Amino acid sequence: MTAPAPSLWRNRSFMLLLSGETASTFLAAFLHVALPAIAVTTLVASEFQVGLLGASESAAFLFLTLPAGAWVDRLSRRRVMITANLVRAALVALIPLAWVFNILSIPWLLWIVFGLGVCRVFFDVAYMSILPTLVTKATLTDANSRLQATFEVANATGPSIAGPLVAAFSAPVAPLMSVGGFLASAFTSWRIREPVVTRTVAQRDLGGEIREGLDFVRHHPLISRVVYSAMLSNLFGGLTFTMFPVLVLRQFGFGPTGLGLLMTISSLGALAGALAGPAFVKRLGDGHAIPMTALYEAVAGFGVPASLLVPHAFAFATLAVSGFLMMFGIVAFNIAQVSLRQRVCPERLLGRMNATVRFAVWGVNPFASLLSGTIAMLIGLQGLFWIGATGSMLAILILVFSPLWHLKKVDSYEEGVAAEGLAELPPPVL
């Protein structure tokens, strides 16, 4: 008889990780609401400048993610997380400081946001790589679900509080609340007992280590399909998300309070997706759950362009429903695909695998942000949002026509791949 999996609630390191990131996520809502408010209202940014701001935030994923993965596999993942959080706290504190001295500008904001993106690259790669060393494989899906669920509770309550406060007080001051969240995350990360794991041999060249991670992802029959689909989905979804604050704040005039409320409603959908994620995986299978949850997200995405077609009185409700369902699908999809990736990847390659996936999937975001601003100026918001929704739907075809569509248990699939010598399948032709 199989012994029951150990309780995650009694896992001290997991609970420290959970509590620190929940506090950080809750207080980061002030930054997420304040940044677009500062750009659009305080600094009166154009559509192109809003796109440039989005590109600056994600540019680090394009340039630094691959070497970050190799470094994370060499270093203590816990220390990487601590350092990234401390630097993020310092960068966010510069925003109100620059405002007080009357030097806050779009270039200032671009550099600060770029620095935050650099820190996020290192933190995210280390965070996603440390989790499988803190819990067992049997509890990975539940661990990802509980992390995501508590994060979304913070996301749901944070914007609803942050929106009115940003509106009532000065938007450039609001990011100070986020400083406390990053410091809390740094403290709990410091208390984690990181297990001893196999590290990459330091004398190997960095390029060789990066190539090893790239080759693993590119040739893996399951991970490669997830990556190609997510790349296209992020590219087209980025068109929509970049201009969403412009739609809410300028086109409809809902203000920071309305933006915060929409973010809260979307976070409630994400919370529902986090809670339902393990059930999706259990009912649909380790692989089939991935394209099915992606489908929820893509269908719901059509609600954003539809909001420009309905009467103004129904626009907010349309955006709210669309945001709820979209985030439900996104989070359920992420739980399914991240858990699958963590199961099939060797521990020594976790940092480089996660970095390679982040590089491919998030590396398209700068282009999406720049394209979003350009397309919005050329054809308007409505045409932009229709392109984004349609492209996201087409990206799912890569998952539908892949082994994931019929996959129930990843363990049995891996055994079959090993037996048939299929571990080195070439990447799919798009």
Local confidence band at 206 (pLDDT 50, 70, 90 cut-offs): confident
Determine the length of the chain.
430
Does 415 score more than 60 pLDDT?
no
Q: Is the pLDDT higher at 157 or at 266?
A: 266
Interval 170-181 mean pLDDT: 75
Q: What is the DSSP string of 194-225?
A: PPP-PPPPTTS-HHHHHHHHHHHHHH-TTHHH
Q: Is the pLDDT higher at 156 or at 421?
A: 156
Does 298 score more than 80 pLDDT?
yes
Q: Is the pLDDT higher at 175 or at 283?
A: 283
Q: Is the dihedral of CA 92, 97, 100, 105 positive or negative?
A: negative
**Interatomic CA distance for residues 367 and 364, integer angstroms:** 5
- Inter-CA distances, 31 with 157, 161, 165, 339, Å: 14, 12, 12, 29
Q: At 168, which amino acid appears?
A: A
- Inter-CA distances, 423 with 23, 211, 216, 414, 416, Å: 41, 17, 9, 8, 10
pLDDT of the residue at 4 = 55
pLDDT of the residue at 425 = 37
Q: pLDDT (tens digit, 9 = 90+) per residue, 235-248? A: 999 899 888 888 88
Q: pLDDT (tens digit, 9 = 90+) per residue, 92-113? A: 888 888 888 888 888 888 888 8
Contact 162, 260 (CB under 8 A): yes
pLDDT of the residue at 110 = 86
Place of tokens 């109100």: 96
pLDDT of the residue at 422 = 41
pLDDT of the residue at 394 = 93
Q: pLDDT (tens digit, 9 = 90+) per residue, 50-83? A: 777 777 777 777 778 888 888 888 888 889 999 9
Q: Is the pLDDT higher at 101 or at 204?
A: 101
| Region for residue 45 given its phi and psi (left: phi exceeds 0; alpha: psi -120 to 50; beta: otherwise) | beta
Q: Is the dihedral of CA 272, 124, 412, 137 positive or negative?
A: negative
Does 366 score more than 80 pLDDT?
no
Q: pLDDT (tens digit, 9 = 90+) per residue, 395-413? A: 999 999 988 988 888 765 5
The per-residue pLDDT of the chain, averaged, comes to 82
pLDDT of the residue at 270 = 84
Q: Is the dihedral of CA 280, 283, 288, 292 positive or negative?
A: negative
Q: Is 313 exposed, middle or buried (0-12, 13-18, 19+ CB in 10 A)?
A: exposed
**Of 217, 278, 230, 215, which is closest to residue 399 (Cα–Cα)?**
230
pLDDT of the residue at 322 = 93
SS3 content of the chain, % helix, strand, coil (to 5): 80, 0, 20
Does 296 score more than 60 pLDDT?
yes
Contact 224, 428 (CB under 8 A): yes
Does 417 score more than 60 pLDDT?
no
Does 202 score more than 70 pLDDT?
no
Place of tokens 């082994």: 403
Contact 156, 267 (CB under 8 A): yes
What is the set of domains in the chain, with CATH numbers? 11-194+206-420 (1.20.1250.20)
